[in-house]
A and B are shown apart, each in its own frame.
Chain A
């Protein structure tokens, strides 16, 4: 009995210290920490086994900042995280440069978060390092240099807090499969537009689950330009790519030359003399009936 009383007194003491100490420190004008790993002088601490520390603020839909005249939300929906593949990860597992002070500084935390994936997904990171989307490229002199061309980071394709679980998760795979515009199309708009043949592109854009997404043919982390021999859509690999499981049967090189249609339907359509004639007639009729001068 005495032991239980003494335990309660000790707990009460520590609780009081925990509550009063930060307020007291703030009142004395403690300067912000200079190192993320600094053990003391923090604006606040984060619980080590949950996200509740961050979500105290970021779980509030009203958490916004005005930056350059734009209202930016910093709200993170709990439900989004709970449905994601990373429910067991702590926020600082990806936000590696979190500075433990508020506001969290103006560092390039976005880039940091979008590339933190490599710390866990090593194979994918290595594959990404040999694909066309890598930031460092051979410069032709036997060495590599950082390209100035815009290159995607992991998060640009995969998203952030809502990344679905893919392994053994049909719903996640379906969500990923439907994401072609976000993953590829939003950058490669011309290829997205030309992907409109009947049974691949047009069907894919209409949500056909068995129509190939961009990466089903082109590959993903180690994707290469189709002009490079290592590309899955280089003519030397089309037989394997078109004949992969779940796609075409009995594929040979005669058949794969038909693949020009996949991104070439609109060109072939434009080159068709009958369609050109019909378009010109429709155009002429349109001009005749008030289409106006061009």
Chain B
């Protein structure tokens, strides 16, 4: 019964996530098109009124973001190939790409954690969701939904950004867990990662270790789509909301120095009020 369900769940996931992926692109297109009559497109893309910043992204997070991006692209491509082989003779090479990218992205994740909490320039506070962030959530939603032209400015990242980045971090852990659960080679003192991670608890719950592994594959596939869909939104918002700093973050083009401003306080301090000097809010 569980296995029949598994077969149907797999087909359902293919259908739902592919439709969702197409739907997200259509939504992004729709959202962008609304920015034209609302005047945001003209202000940003024609008049060049992008959000202002009082400091620029530093090197290490930029580097780690690049590594993360490339590895995640490789993981998504190779992972989707393994499920939907779309050219000949690629399974073994794609598996290797998957394993290598997995290792690098895992090490990069640990590096980012070290940087966030232990480095001299530790920046974990930038991602912490405060009470003030939560209070600004409705305002941020209203701004993105075109119900308001004022985006509450509480910190460097708004509450939606913080939630997204933290969700990315949690999903990374979940994806690592589910991915390792697919390995059945006895590489851990005679036990496989599957046995160690899920065999002893999920196996009895779902009717066997192999079935548990199949459910982990389902989860792995689902999380893969969540990453893809979230990345589409992340990419769209990064480009359409803050293109100049995005270009700087990727190292393509330096953020114009004449646009660097201070808006009454440093970003190491807490913001005094949910209002600021960012271009959009100043209007």
Listed in ascending order, the chain A residues whose CB lies under 8 Å from chain B are: 198-199, 202-203, 205-211, 248-252, 254-261, 264-265, 268-269, 272, 274-275, 278
Determine which of B7, B84, B85 lies in contact with A208 in the assembled complex, contact meaning CB atoms within 8 Å: B85
**Which chain A residue has the least Cβ–Cβ distance from B1?**
A257
The answer to whether A274 touches B12, judged by C-beta atoms less than 8 angstroms apart, is yes
**Which chain B residue has the least Cβ–Cβ distance from A268?**
B11
What would 29 A/B residue contacts be, using CB atoms closer than 8 Å?
A: A198-B10, A202-B84, A202-B85, A206-B86, A206-B90, A207-B88, A207-B89, A208-B91, A208-B92, A210-B92, A250-B184, A250-B194, A251-B208, A252-B207, A254-B210, A255-B3, A255-B207, A255-B208, A255-B211, A255-B214, A256-B3, A257-B2, A257-B4, A258-B7, A258-B214, A261-B10, A274-B15, A274-B16, A278-B15
- Enumerate chain A residues within 8 angstroms of B8, measured Cβ to Cβ: 268, 272
Residue from the set B12, B86, B194, B211 with the largest chain A CB neighbour count within 10 Å? B211
Chain B 1-38 interface residues, beta-carbon cutoff 8 Å to A? 1-4, 6-8, 10-12, 14-16, 19
The answer to whether A203 touches B91, judged by C-beta atoms less than 8 angstroms apart, is yes
- Enumerate chain B residues within 8 angstroms of A264, measured Cβ to Cβ: 7
- Enumerate chain A residues within 8 angstroms of B208, measured Cβ to Cβ: 250-252, 254-255
For the complex, is B87 an interface residue (Cβ under 8 Å from A)? yes
**Which chain A residue has the least Cβ–Cβ distance from B16?**
A274
Q: Once A and B bind, how many residue pairs between them come within 8 Å at the CB atom?
A: 105
Query: A10–B86 Cα gap in the complex (Å)?
Result: 71
The answer to whether A203 touches B85, judged by C-beta atoms less than 8 angstroms apart, is yes
The answer to whether B88 touches A250, judged by C-beta atoms less than 8 angstroms apart, is no
**Which chain A residue has the least Cβ–Cβ distance from B214?**
A258
- Enumerate chain B residues within 8 angstroms of A256, measured Cβ to Cβ: 3
- Enumerate chain B residues within 8 angstroms of A254, measured Cβ to Cβ: 2-3, 206-208, 210-211
For the complex, is B108 an interface residue (Cβ under 8 Å from A)? no
Question: Nearest chain A CB to B72's CB is how many angstroms away?
Answer: 21
Query: A261–B213 Cα gap in the complex (Å)?
Result: 16
**Which chain B residue has the least Cβ–Cβ distance from A206?**
B85
**Which chain A residue has the least Cβ–Cβ distance from B22?**
A278
A255-B208, A261-B10 are known contacts. Are A275 and B15 too (CB-CB below 8 A)? yes
For the complex, is B240 an interface residue (Cβ under 8 Å from A)? no
A250-B210, A254-B207, A254-B211 are known contacts. Are A268 and B15 too (CB-CB below 8 A)? no
Question: Nearest chain A CB to B91's CB is how many angstroms away?
Answer: 4
For the complex, is B192 an interface residue (Cβ under 8 Å from A)? yes
A254-B2, A256-B3 are known contacts. Are A198 and B83 too (CB-CB below 8 A)? yes
- Enumerate chain B residues within 8 angstroms of A261, measured Cβ to Cβ: 6-7, 10
The answer to whether B210 touches A251, judged by C-beta atoms less than 8 angstroms apart, is yes
Question: Nearest chain B CB to A263's CB is how many angstroms away?
Answer: 11
- Enumerate chain B residues within 8 angstroms of A250, measured Cβ to Cβ: 184, 194-195, 199, 203, 208-210, 213
- Enumerate chain B residues within 8 angstroms of A268, measured Cβ to Cβ: 7-8, 11
- Enumerate chain B residues within 8 angstroms of A272, measured Cβ to Cβ: 8, 11-12, 15
Per-position binary interface string of chain B over residues 39-76, scored 1 when its CB falls under 8 Å from any chain A CB and 0 otherwise: 00000000000000000000000000000000000000
Determine which of A209, A251, A252, A278 lies in contact with B92 in the assembled complex, contact meaning CB atoms within 8 Å: A209
- Enumerate chain B residues within 8 angstroms of A249, measured Cβ to Cβ: 184, 192, 194, 209-210
Question: Nearest chain B CB to A281's CB is how many angstroms away?
Answer: 11
The answer to whether B87 touches A206, judged by C-beta atoms less than 8 angstroms apart, is yes
Question: Nearest chain A CB to B95's CB is how many angstroms away?
Answer: 9
Query: A274–B22 Cα gap in the complex (Å)?
Result: 15
Query: A254–B8 Cα gap in the complex (Å)?
Result: 15
- Enumerate chain B residues within 8 angstroms of A257, measured Cβ to Cβ: 1-4
- Enumerate chain A residues within 8 angstroms of B1, measured Cβ to Cβ: 257
Per-position binary interface string of chain B over residues 75-101, scored 1 when its CB falls under 8 Å from any chain A CB and 0 otherwise: 000000011111111111000000000
Determine which of B3, B84, B91 lies in contact with A211 in the assembled complex, contact meaning CB atoms within 8 Å: B91
The answer to whether B15 touches A252, judged by C-beta atoms less than 8 angstroms apart, is no
- Enumerate chain B residues within 8 angstroms of A278, measured Cβ to Cβ: 15, 19
Question: Nearest chain A CB to B6's CB is how many angstroms away?
Answer: 5
Question: Nearest chain B CB to A94's CB is how many angstroms away?
Answer: 33
Query: A257–B11 Cα gap in the complex (Å)?
Result: 16
**Which chain B residue has the least Cβ–Cβ distance from A201?**
B85
Query: A205–B88 Cα gap in the complex (Å)?
Result: 8
6 A-B pairs with the lowest CB-CB distances in the bound complex, closest first? A258-B3, A250-B209, A208-B91, A254-B207, A206-B85, A255-B210
Query: A206–B213 Cα gap in the complex (Å)?
Result: 24
**Which chain B residue has the least Cβ–Cβ distance from A265?**
B11
